[in-house]
């Protein structure tokens, strides 16, 4: 079991959740406020997406990231900032017999275009989604090819930003380990992402299989989506890992009770404390992950 736990709070995501919850953070002001709320509740790290303030849809506009990061850094609250670099990988295959008639959900750009905001803002951490995935029951695929991943990993390393490798299935972990063998990544973090259709399921057997294939001494975390958020958090701690919660992954505190990012952080801290573990402060998390001290 892991007695000292890094708690990441994923604040908003890019999913179609705005109409499913009364207070999904959408604007940069709201997202930054959610980060401060999570930090005050005891989070170690905040994982940030941005959304188009007019539509609520996921965005990769560097100006929106700039405002969010500036507001977080100016808040006076200590928190480790983790920016997604996963936007720009969506491909909606045309329906039926017209697969090349790509749909309106398509937003597909190259590996370096996905890192424009990371290049400018140099967060503590950024993500790298380590493979292609059938994303849900429709015709949308998340695309991240081996060549694109190698290019992205190389650039993240050159920037001196810590890579968090998002692992949605076992093949993703296989390729992540390959990039480490090739010297493209230095001491990355691993985030095991469980329960997203149709990736790895959120269960003990799958998490254990992934953990058994991590590099020796790797720093890793895991999460489950929806009602499996807290069970998978407990499982991760038992297996020696860290945890992620937040409105990106789960909208509910209890049945019929909408969550906030702060309430989910508080809930998971209560859970791990009942297990005999303690949350790490941002300062302790920086030491654990080999990040620069806050200036």
pLDDT at 97: 97
Domains annotated on the chain, with CATH: 4-289 (3.20.20.70)
pLDDT in the model for residue 203:
97
Kindly compute the dihedral angle of the four CA atoms of residues 278, 40, 20, 101, in this order, to the nearest 10 degrees. -90
Sign of the torsion angle spanned by Cα atoms 6, 262, 86, 61: negative
**b/e burial code for range 17-55 (CB count within 10 A of at least 16 → b):** ebeeeeebbbbbebbbbbbbbbbebbbbbbbbbbbebee
- Condensed to tens digits (0 to 9), the pLDDT of residues 179-201 reads 999 999 999 999 999 999 999 99
> What is residue 292's predicted lDDT score, i.e. its pLDDT?
87
Listed residue (140, 128, 137, 245) closest to 197, CA to CA: 137
Report how far residue 275's alpha carbon sits from residue 230's, in angstroms, rounded to the nearest whole number: 13
**Residue-level pLDDT at 189:** 98
pLDDT per residue as tens digits for the range 118-168: 999 999 999 999 999 998 889 999 999 999 999 999 999 999 999 999 999
> Could you tell me if 6 and 288 are in contact, meaning their C-beta atoms sit under 8 angstroms apart?
yes
pLDDT digits (tens, 9 = 90+) for 264-273: 999 999 999 9
Q: Which residue has the tokens 């200590």?
A: 78
Torsion of the alpha carbons at 214, 222, 163 and 265, rounded to the nearest 10: -150
What pLDDT does residue 59 have? Answer: 98
Which parts of the chain register pLDDT below 70? 295
Residues with Cβ < 8 Å from 102, sequence gap 6 or more? 91, 92, 93, 94
Q: What is the pLDDT of residue 295?
A: 60
Residue 46 structure tokens: 């905040």
Collapsing DSSP to helix, strand or coil, 246 comes out as: coil
């Amino acid at each position: 079991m892991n007695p000292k736990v890094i708690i990441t709070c994923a604040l908003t995501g890019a999913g179609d959740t705005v109409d499913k919850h009364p207070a999904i953070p959408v604007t940069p002001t709201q997202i930054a406020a959610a980060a401060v709320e999570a930090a005050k509740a005891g989070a170690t790290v905040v994982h940030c997406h941005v959304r188009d303030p007019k539509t609520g849809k996921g965005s990769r506009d560097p100006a929106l990231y700039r405002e969010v990061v500036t507001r977080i850094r100016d808040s006076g609250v200590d928190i480790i900032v983790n920016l997604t670099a996963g936007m720009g990988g969506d491909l909606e295959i045309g329906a039926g017999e017209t697969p090349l008639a790509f749909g309106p959900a398509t937003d597909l750009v190259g590996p370096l275009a996905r890192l424009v905001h990371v290049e400018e803002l140099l967060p503590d951490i950024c993500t790298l989604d380590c493979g292609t995935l059938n994303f849900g029951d429709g015709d949308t695929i998340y695309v991240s090819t081996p060549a694109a991943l190698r290019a992205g990993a190389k650039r993240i390393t050159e920037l001196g930003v810590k890579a968090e490798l998002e692992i949605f299935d076992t093949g993703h972990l296989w390729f992540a380990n390959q990039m480490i063998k090739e010297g493209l990544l230095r001491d990355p973090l691993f985030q095991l992402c469980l329960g997203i259709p149709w990736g790895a399921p959120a269960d003990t057997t799958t998490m254990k299989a992934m953990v058994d294939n991590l590099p020796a001494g790797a720093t890793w975390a895991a999460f489950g989506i929806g009602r499996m958020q807290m069970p998978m958090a407990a499982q991760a701690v038992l297996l020696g890992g860290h945890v992620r919660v937040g409105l990106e992954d789960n909208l509910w505190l209890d049945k019929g009770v909408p969550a906030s990012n702060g309430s989910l952080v508080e809930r998971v801290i209560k859970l791990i404390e009942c297990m005999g573990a303690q949350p790490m402060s941002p300062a302790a998390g920086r030491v654990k992950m080999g990040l620069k001290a806050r200036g």
